[in-house]
Chains A and B, each alone.
Chain A
Amino acid sequence: MSELSRETLVLNMGPQHPATHGVLRLLLELEGEVILGAEAVIGYLHTGFEKEMETRTYHQNIIFPPRIEYLATFIEEQAYVLAVEKLLGIQAPKRAETIRIILAELSRIASHLVWLGTSAIDLNVSSVFMYCFRDREEILDMFEMVSGQRMMHGYFRIGGLQWDLPAGFTERVQKFLDDLPRRLDEYETLLTDNLIWRQRTEGVGLLSAEDALGYGCTGPLLRGSGVNYDVRKAFPYGGYDEYAFDVPLGEHGDSFDRYKIRLEEMRQSRRIILQAVDRLTDGPIMVDDRKVALPPRRELVRSMEAVIHQFKLVSEGIQPPAGEIYAAVESPRGEKGYYIVSDGSNRPVRVRVRAPSFNNLQALPVMIYHETIADAVVIIASIDIVLGDVDR
């Protein structure tokens, strides 16, 4: 081959590009249409959440997690709240845990639906995009019913929940879940049996189990490569050890496997929610610890002590013991963890957000090596990155 034909071209893709699902910039080294090297340039959405969290009390910090990963908001809140609870050494009451699981799994379905819709529209299947967003709207309506907000809820509290479920919520969830399998089957028929979809995803974006582990990938990306690691099973949190569900695994580590896994995860999430709705019993939704939870209103008029507790909590906040903990949950993208260092005061010394998208994105150059530009779009979609999570 002559020197001339080996010449490569560096193409800039993003940061404003519809296929990057946010503000991701890629520098692609191309020979013809084949990618020989890639460098991801990130940080366009860096907002310094970790620094901000050092300057606020533990309770004030609840507003940040759903803004970090804005597609799986309740799972984010659960991750942060569980981390602080672990630091305090307390456990939320049963009813609060069950409600958290229902909302977290609904978040997972909502997030996977956004992923399915956006990856479908990347390959020009716009009807699936519309259907998925219609279903997600229903979930967001339920979230609004519970917390008053479609996103950025701030509904989970350290030690429990803000308030109890509204009347008619479980019926609405039940109605949605009853219809969900039919809808998922429909989307699967539209995609799995679609020749173009299969040709575009099968064997595209291969990632070996060894590379996936080496790059710290978690979630559907790691399980697509056949490694059985789901935080809900490996390190059960918030009561997940009492629920029966399966962890789907892939064989080839390609985009098609990741697609199959996410579809199956939605069905498994439905299974978990159905069990949780069954187990929903009456009970308190907040711990009975006056150093953590505000006293109920009726106590404030009678007890001086309750007034003091209220004043302390509002003016100073929760003061966990000095120490450091790491607590993780399984987000739709992988292991989302909070590493919190406390010095015993009302503000954390350090809050580190372990972002699954950050590590998963790092494996992108491995996956798109020797693929074409058109396939790069499919592969970026198959990682399912949220740039808010990557850049924090």
Chain B
Amino acid sequence: MTQHLAESLAQQLADVALEQTRFRNELTLVLPRERLLAALQAARAGGFSLLIDLTAVDRSPASPRFEVVYLLTSPPAPSRIRFKVRVEEGDAVVPTATAVWPAAGWLEREVFDLFGIRFEGHPDLKRILLPDDWEGHPLRKDFPLTEEPVEFIGHTPKVPSQIIPKSPPKP
């Protein structure tokens, strides 16, 4: 399926984008953080009226560690495009998209909650899924996934699903 809107937007942002990848007919643009907001506004003006998803990926141990991912969709002329911004762990701040899509409000709160990435200018940046007094950000790779500690003697909490170990990447 040809995605005319996505192609024309990619062309428009060609000199801004750091990287442009295609995988399984999906178009991804990697943008510099300072140009992100302008690019999102251009996308919304260009017909991508739905912010379908906003999420993050922890690429640890790679550097920059985090990727914030924006998935945009245009309903009338079906087309999808993905924007990405890479941020370092020590400087995990991204400008908020709440002014472009109100949908970003909760989605950014979720990314903040689970990854600890801050969104500059967000009107109400606080935890959304986890309790307010939760420590850490669970979707970070260094957050351990263990059983809840219990006070039985001789029971060491184990990491679930060690039955099939992680394989090295396929060559």
Which A residues contact B (CB, under 8 angstroms)?
42-43, 46, 48, 50-52, 55-57, 60, 86-87, 89, 211, 213-216, 218, 227-229, 234-235, 315-317, 319, 321-326, 328, 335, 337, 339, 341, 343-347, 349-350, 352, 354, 358-359, 362, 391-392
Contact = CB atoms under 8 A, between A and B. Distances in A.
Interface in B19-57: 23-24, 26, 28, 49-53, 55, 57
Given A57-B164, A317-B164, A227 B170 contact: no
Contacts of A354: 52-53, 71
Contact of A51 (B53, B131, B139): B139
A348 to B, nearest CB: 10
B102 A214 contact: yes
B145 A43 contact: no
A274 to B, nearest CB: 26
Contact of B24 (A51, A325, A339): A325
A377 to B, nearest CB: 22
Interface stretch (B5-13, B75-83, B87-95): B75-83
B27 to A, nearest CB: 11
Contact of A319 (B75, B76, B80, B167): B167
B166 interface: yes
Nearest to B54: A216
B170 A344 contact: yes
Nearest to A323: B23
B139 A55 contact: no
Given A55-B145, A229-B50, 7 more contacts: A46-B130, A213-B49, A215-B101, A319-B169, A337-B52, A339-B53, A345-B168
A339 B55 contact: yes
A326 B59 CA distance: 18
Nearest to B101: A214
Contact of A358 (B28, B82, B106, B139): B106
B164 A315 contact: yes
Contacts, number: 130
Contact of B50 (A213, A325, A344, A358): A213
Contact of A316 (B50, B105, B164): B164
28 contacts: A42-B129, A43-B128, A43-B129, A46-B130, A51-B138, A214-B49, A214-B102, A215-B102, A215-B103, A216-B50, A227-B75, A229-B50, A235-B1, A235-B78, A316-B164, A316-B167, A319-B167, A319-B170, A324-B23, A324-B57, A335-B52, A335-B73, A339-B69, A345-B170, A346-B164, A349-B57, A350-B57, A352-B53
B146 to A, nearest CB: 11
Given A216-B103, A339-B55, A228 B75 contact: yes
Contacts of A213: 49-50, 75
A118 B51 CA distance: 30
A344 B167 CA distance: 9
Interface string B122-158: 0000011111000000110001010000000000000
A43 B130 contact: yes
Nearest to A291: B170
A48 B138 contact: yes
A21 to B, nearest CB: 18
A326 B166 CA distance: 23
A227 B126 CA distance: 32
Given A52-B145, A344-B169, A391 B129 contact: yes
Contacts of A316: 164, 167
B14 to A, nearest CB: 21
Contacts of A87: 24
B129 A216 contact: no
B2 interface: no
Given A339-B69, A341-B57, A343-B169, A359 B103 contact: yes
A347 B166 CA distance: 6
Contacts of B107: 216, 359
A335 B159 CA distance: 33
Contacts of B76: 228
A349 B140 CA distance: 11
Given A214-B102, A358-B106, A60 B164 contact: yes
A228 B49 CA distance: 13
A159 to B, nearest CB: 16
Contacts of B159: 55
A42 B51 CA distance: 21
A333 to B, nearest CB: 14
A57 B1 CA distance: 30
Contacts of A343: 169
A317 B167 CA distance: 9
Interface string B56-71: 0111000000000101
A118 to B, nearest CB: 24
A350 B26 contact: no
Nearest to A366: B102
A324 B145 contact: no
Contact of A345 (B52, B59, B138, B166): B166
A328 B160 CA distance: 29
